[in-house]
Amino acid sequence: MTATSNDGSIREVVNQLRDEIRRHDALYYQQASPEISDRDYDQLMRQLVELETAHPELKSSDSPTQKVGGAPIEGFVTVEHRVPMLSIDNAFSEGELAEFGSRVVKLIGPEPVEWVVEYKVDGVALSLIYENGHLVRAVTRGDGRKGDDVTHNARTMRGVPLQLIGNVPAVLEVRGEAFIGNRDFAQLQADMIEAGEEPLKNSRNATAGAIKLLDPQLCAKRKLRFFAHSVGSLEGASYATHWEFLQAIHAMGIPSVQKTSLQPNFESAVAHTQQLMEALHELDFEVDGIVLKVNNLGVREQLGMTSKSPRWVIAYKWEKYEAETQVQEILISVGKTGTLTPVASLRPVEIAGTTVSRASLHNRDEIERLGVQIGDWVIVEKAGKIIPHVVRVEQHKRDGSQAVFEFPTHCPECQTAVIKDEDGVYIRCPNPDCPAQLREGLRYFASRAAMDIEGLGIKLIEQLTEAKLLTSFADIYRLKERRAEMLKLERLGEKSIDNLLSGVEASKAQPLWRLLTALNLRHVGTRTAQQLAERFGTMQIIATQTEEQLSQVDEVGPVIAKSVAAFFASDYGQRIISDLTALGLNMGDAVAAAAIAAERAAGRLVGKTLVVTGTLARFKRDEIAELIRKHGGKSASSVSKKTDYVVAGTDAGSKLAKAEELGVPVLTEDQFLELIGNE
């Protein structure tokens, strides 16, 4: 069929549809920020299929419609990898990570190098080969030297573009992981049960089985996805760093592993692993570790390989335990800043020796992402040091008794209409007098991190608030006037009351930064409170500062400045400060603050960075950190070549080993006291 002018306009529509679908693919799989619903996406795809069916001369092998699967193949062809796909070494503790870091330093010297940190997706390794931007082959890892050609199935995977965009190399081999998302796996199980089939045990097995199917249309039904994480062979382009490579393939339309980050040194990379572990609940895919790899490709060549694995990469893995249990109820917890956090009340189940009966669902978006309902059977996972979290819903076990959870529009404690954070995911109660916020705020006010009031724990706070003896922070300092009423409460004797009142009275003299911390201003932690107290000296001076003036303080950005200024401008904030001032709390002293600043400037630790590790005999950790600050030093959490001293107690671990490796002086507590001039 010869193209007419009308055919030309149809060709233009077809090309526009293809570009639009590819754009939405990139938004969904690369940026996790879709602009349209699945239904609207399917409608675009349907229009394209109809046009290509009506005009077969316009069909193209790299059209998005070709991802639904072609004809079955007769069998698999074995392909030799251009560059071997080797395995990587594992570390199962921070100590083993430190040993790996030490080996790298011995090979390349003490100068810090950048590291890329990413999740280790629990999927099936896959190599994609593009020639002039077109997908020509996809190969499984196999034995590392040879693998199976699974191009017919790879073409069906979401996140595998059939044609790259922008500046593309002549040959580009991208390696990564094929996997099935948790929600898609839950739906797959439900579909298999409905069809009378035995459900698959886990998503990795489902992925491996899908990749080895001969019929790509069957593979397409499993909704496999792909994340890239490394480069294989390359012609017609060069990259100096791995991070540069990731940015380049992202521009070409290939998604990399979510939340991958670039860290300035190994210590920072190790510290970042904890943040990634704490964010596991945000993922819609399984992971079984975190990978740390040298960023600079030249340094990688210098480090070289062992007989089985590269020396420039390590996988930090942990024991992962999971169990199936039922969501009996979804409760709402109101935090000290008013955040409404949904919590799943679970049928008690033992995981890794611990009985688990609750798991945070974090926020409304998380409930929607998981699709969890009251009565659902769910998979709960506990990995490493991380608290248990819900991985996925076992949709195939639904029997119609489940109920959709309606997120409250009003605070369950005070019935105030809730609001959603601007540009955020959290929903909170804006009422500063909310009883739940009061309880949690009082607990934080009395905690060791803040006013350190011995004996004022959450159980007593609940008693006192229920009896209306505590209705504000200021009421803590009025308790001595209500001693007789306190004696009427259960489990409160004269001695315990006197000890509590003594602790309350002593807390009045706590330094200004502790009081600032205790007030629970949003975004203001201990470090920020210290900076504000040192800069301005008194509560009254801080209260008069504008956002612009506050923003000029070290480590205080616009968000923190706005929060601080708003607190002191509010009736609530002014009432608190007025009451606490009248009750005799330390509101700072500009002269004393200047003297402390002068003392710090003249201290023996000025310009020095110290790291404390192990169990100390004389100090609590926050006490020695305060002493370091008092003498002009900085207390850090990780050891690097910029560390001046490490103060080591008993049972010191990887930080001590790192200090010895880098030649950082190690002090006992006695030597530390001698250094600062104290007996």
Q: What is the DSSP string of 215-229?
A: -HHHHHTT--EEEEE
C-alpha to C-alpha distances, 414 to 45, 205, 433, 521, nearest whole angstrom:
48, 48, 9, 20
Tokens of 65: 């419609």
* CA proximity to 163, closest of 133, 138, 192, 139: 133
Report the 3 state secondary structure along 52-97. Answer: HHHCHHHCCCCCHHHHHCCCCCCCCCEEECCCCCCCCEEECCHHHH
Residue with tokens 């079984």: 288
Query: What is d(CA 458, CA 477) in angstroms, rounded to the nearest whole number?
Result: 17
Q: What is the DSSP string of 472-494?
A: STGGGGGGGGGHHHHHTSTT--H
Q: Which helix (H) or strand (E) holds 383?
A: strand 377-383
Query: What is d(CA 44, CA 543) in angstroms, rounded to the nearest whole number?
Result: 56
Name the catalytic one among 59, 67, 106, 120. Answer: 120
Query: What is d(CA 61, CA 551) in angstroms, rounded to the nearest whole number?
Result: 56
Query: What is d(CA 112, CA 104) in angstroms, rounded to the nearest whole number?
Result: 10
C-alpha to C-alpha distances, 476 to 160, 400, 490, 569, 616, nearest whole angstrom:
61, 50, 19, 23, 32
* CA proximity to 361, closest of 375, 347, 346: 346
Query: What is d(CA 30, CA 252) in angstroms, rounded to the nearest whole number?
Result: 11
DSSP 400: S
| Contacts for 55 with CB less than 8 Å, ≥ 6 apart | 1, 7, 10, 14
Cα dihedral 133, 134, 135, 137 in deg (nearest 10): -100
Query: What is d(CA 274, CA 226) in angstroms, rounded to the nearest whole number?
Result: 25
How would you label 520-535 residue by residue, b for 16+ Cβ within 10 Å and e otherwise? bbbebeeebbbbbbbb
Query: What is d(CA 21, CA 253) in angstroms, rounded to the nearest whole number?
Result: 12
Query: What is d(CA 27, CA 127) in angstroms, rounded to the nearest whole number?
Result: 23
- Strand ranges in 563-628 using DSSP code E only, listed in sequence order: 609-613
Strands 645-648 and 609-613, how do they pair? parallel
Helices 621-630, 590-601: inter-axial angle, 10-degree rounding:
90
Residue 488 is a catalytic residue? no
Which residues are 609's β-sheet partners?
634
Cβ count within 10 A of residue 651:
9
Q: What angle do CA 652, 655, 656 make, to 5 degrees?
A: 55
Q: Tell me the CB-side half-sphere exposure of residue 50, using CA atoms within 13 A.
A: 7
| Contacts for 54 with CB less than 8 Å, ≥ 6 apart | none
Burial class (CB in 10 A: 0-12, 13-18, 19+), 370: buried
Burial class (CB in 10 A: 0-12, 13-18, 19+), 490: exposed
Active site residues: 120
